Amino acid sequence: MNEFFSILKPELLITAIIFILLFVKITKTMKTSALLLLIQGLLLLNFVGGFFFNTEGNLFGDMYFSNHLLMMQKSILNLAVFLISLLFANCLRHHEHLPEYFILMLSALLGMFFMISSQNMLMFYLSLELATIPVAAMANFDLEKKASSEAAMKMILSSAFSSGILLFGISMLYGATGTISFNEIPFALDGSVLNILILVFIFTAFAFKLSIVPFHLWTADVYEGAPMATSAFLSVVSKGSVAFIFITMLYKVFQPMSETWYNMLIILSIATMVIGNLFAMRQQNIKRFLAFSSIAQVGFIMVAISSGSAKGISSVVYFVLIYVFSNLAAFGVASVIATQSGKERIDAYKGLYKTNPFLSWVLALALFSLAGIPPTAGFFGKLFLISAGAFKANYGYIAFVALNMIVSLYYYLVIVRAMFMDRNEQPIEKIHLHPANKIGLIICAGGIVCIGLISWIFDHIQSLVG
């Protein structure tokens, strides 16, 4: 019994927080600003609690599985949600439905935890739905805005359609193998045409969730229309967790077909990087820009996944950790500016350094890290991703990936130039930061600077992968 609690600890903690928030909502005893403080405190406790009393083991008749690597991945996701509660304090503080927003967000997080721990197609499907349906409701949270409801509509329809495709793939997999357990499927796969069709169906569903290129069309619209905190949650937490389970699915379940999915990954990652980069260049809205930049980043993650080795797993986990800090910092600054001045266009960022030096420096650091410029952590993340990809000795492909990194420098630096160099008669006036925002931005900036230089973090992740 004791073991049950320690294995299932991350999920139980999240559930407890959800119930506390429900109770607070029903009794209506707290003001919103105090409530936000309570939520931040609970999420911090939850993040810290993730490091104690961790046990490995199986639960629910081998449907659920946990080890130290998964605990690490869950801690990364916990950290991201905690940072979201800090960074978006200024726009969430006055929202009358604040507890509901966090209940939805934590339900989605709970689904993601079960998803990355699942050992069974049924568990995987249920938790995937738990991880996506609340996010669609979160996208609709600016109830009066036209763009918000349109974004939510696109999100729910495309995710329902993609889960339909996933289910058709799983049903054929069940027909072909007679089992839905991750441990038994690989022994029953034989590489026949039916198995390739199954792989294509399941891969397509993952591509929808990860916004890999032919299936990326919902991404930019949803990011633009949804509230900023939802976009940040989608681009960091949702994407990170789907990348983790994608690795399990390919490395473990479809291990006998590694040749097939290797070729699929290569072709789609090239398309993802090229289209993501090209479309990011022509964006005028900062949210759409960040959406396409996150599509391009997924292309780089796929490079590491294609290696099919332990190095691939550790470099993806490390990259997601860095991506949490850099992308959340970028979204955080954009959200502060959008809430205070209502401006989302990149032109409005001209001359930001004159009036808001702190925000400009944080955004510049985040963009440097996303682009992969050396002293920041993003460089090390990209370095490990690409060196994991080079495992298969296809150097032409790796050279193409590196070229794409150079192309991506252009559009990240355009924003930095706009902030620091371009003149503007009416720059955004001085913005007063809420203390929570300031703490969040400082944590993000510290993470971007330090994580790459503290080498034992990567060693630790590598030792967990084994």
Partner 1 sequence: MMEPGLYHILFISAGLFFIGVYGFLTRRNLITMLMSIELILNSVNLNFIAFNKYLWPGKLDGLFFTIFIIAIAAAEAAVAIAIIINLYRTHRSIDVEDAEQLKY
- Tell me which residues touch partner 1 (CB under 8 A): 121-122, 125-126, 129, 133, 136-137, 140, 143-147, 149-154, 156-157, 160-161, 163-165, 167-168, 170-172, 174-175, 178-180, 220-221, 224-225
What is the smallest separation between the CB atom of 172 and partner 1, expressed in angstroms?
A: 7
Nearer to partner 1, 167 or 464 (CB): 167
Nearer to partner 1, 152 or 313 (CB): 152
What is the smallest separation between the CB atom of 175 and partner 1, expressed in angstroms?
A: 4
d(CA 323, CA 72) in angstroms, rounded, equals 15
Nearer to partner 1, 20 or 172 (CB): 172
SS3 at position 59: strand
What is the smallest separation between the CB atom of 245 and partner 1, expressed in angstroms?
A: 17
* CA atoms in the 13 A half-sphere facing the CB of 250: 28
Nearer to partner 1, 56 or 100 (CB): 100
What is the smallest separation between the CB atom of 132 and partner 1, expressed in angstroms?
A: 9
What is the smallest separation between the CB atom of 239 and partner 1, expressed in angstroms?
A: 20
What is the smallest separation between the CB atom of 282 and partner 1, expressed in angstroms?
A: 8
Nearer to partner 1, 167 or 449 (CB): 167
- At CB < 8 A and 24+ separation, what contacts does 334-337 make? 334/228, 334/286, 334/287, 334/290, 334/363, 335/87, 335/88, 335/90, 335/91, 335/228, 335/229, 335/232, 336/90, 336/431, 336/433, 336/437, 337/428, 337/431
| Of 392, 162, 369, 185, nearest in space to 269 by CA | 392
What is the smallest separation between the CB atom of 120 and partner 1, expressed in angstroms?
A: 9
What is the smallest separation between the CB atom of 184 and partner 1, expressed in angstroms?
A: 11
Number of neighbours of residue 125 by Cβ within 10 angstroms: 18
Q: What are phi and psi of 267, to 5 degrees?
A: -65, -45
E-strand ranges in 318-404 read none
- The number of angstroms, rounded, from the C-alpha of 230 to the middle of its chain's C-alpha atoms is 11
**Torsion 102-105-106-107 (CA) sign:** positive
Q: Is 368 exposed, middle or buried (0-12, 13-18, 19+ CB in 10 A)?
A: buried
Nearer to partner 1, 103 or 304 (CB): 103
d(CA 173, CA 340) in angstroms, rounded, equals 51
SS3 at position 121: helix
What is the smallest separation between the CB atom of 215 and partner 1, expressed in angstroms?
A: 14
Nearer to partner 1, 11 or 142 (CB): 142
Nearer to partner 1, 163 or 195 (CB): 163
- The number of angstroms, rounded, from the C-alpha of 311 to the middle of its chain's C-alpha atoms is 20
Nearer to partner 1, 186 or 375 (CB): 186
Query: For residue 169, what are its two tokens?
Result: 């793939």
What is the smallest separation between the CB atom of 15 and partner 1, expressed in angstroms?
A: 18
Nearer to partner 1, 82 or 206 (CB): 206
What are the start-end ranges of the H helices in 376-434?
A: 377-389, 395-420
d(CA 140, CA 222) in angstroms, rounded, equals 10
